[in-house]
Structure 1
């Protein structure tokens, strides 16, 4: 670790939220860049991203090999149960667009969002 990097505790809220998101990936396998794109909805800090991936592997949430990530769970985000909408003034957490309706993923570790209607589909793997 160089002087600019700080250790990230596995109990960091961003880590727990990232792990909860990875537990709900709706793919048999994904390339690592696609997984990092999803994690970037939680954090853009590379140290936290690395911690999320490492902890996901240690906790048995994913398998990683040769740039491919394989989720072990088959519990996907279900729109009718796990995605809630709220009206208000929001900025999409993924693309930054202004929103009057925000879509939020309700995970055990907390809410993740807001997202716009197309970004929520990308984050949850529907697109």
Structure 2
């Protein structure tokens, strides 16, 4: 996936954070789902600040939009098949994919999707 595609996907992920605020570390943990490349991770966080997706102050990241979190009913699609969870690497037969405008994010197992989205 080209860098600009990962940045767009990372921006959408940050725009849909369910929490009113996260530590920079927790935000970076979420961004790591999109890419493990440290340069692209920094680019995502910098772009999110620049574009007003998040505000960052004293080690805290706050999404600027409210009520835009990912809905399990409408934004997460479950597909049957042979997958490896993008978060933990486990083999799974049911993959959960988050549908964003720019792309989909996944697959994740049933437990990892909740962690990725900040529900656990």
TM-score of the alignment, normalized to the shorter chain, above 0.5: yes
Give 5+ residue unaligned stretches, structure 2.
Answer: none
Q: Which has the larger radius of gyration?
A: 1
1:109 CA displacement: 1.0
Deviations 1:48-99 (A, max 9, x none): 0000000000100000011100011120100000000000000000100100
Tell me the distance in 2 between the aligned counterparts of 1:95 and 1:34: 16
Give 5+ residue unaligned stretches, structure 1.
Answer: 1-8
Deviations 1:13-52 (A, max 9, x none): 0000000100100000001111111101100000000000
2:90 corresponds in structure 1 to: 97
Q: Secondary structure at the match of 1:103?
A: strand
2:12 corresponds in structure 1 to: 20
CA-based RMSD of the aligned residues comes to 1.1
Aligned residues: 118
Q: 1:41 aligns with which of 26, 30, 33?
A: 33
Q: Secondary structure at the match of 1:125?
A: coil
2:62 corresponds in structure 1 to: 70
1:4 corresponds in structure 2 to: none
Q: Secondary structure at the match of 1:12?
A: helix
For normalisation by structure 2, the TM-score amounts to 0.96
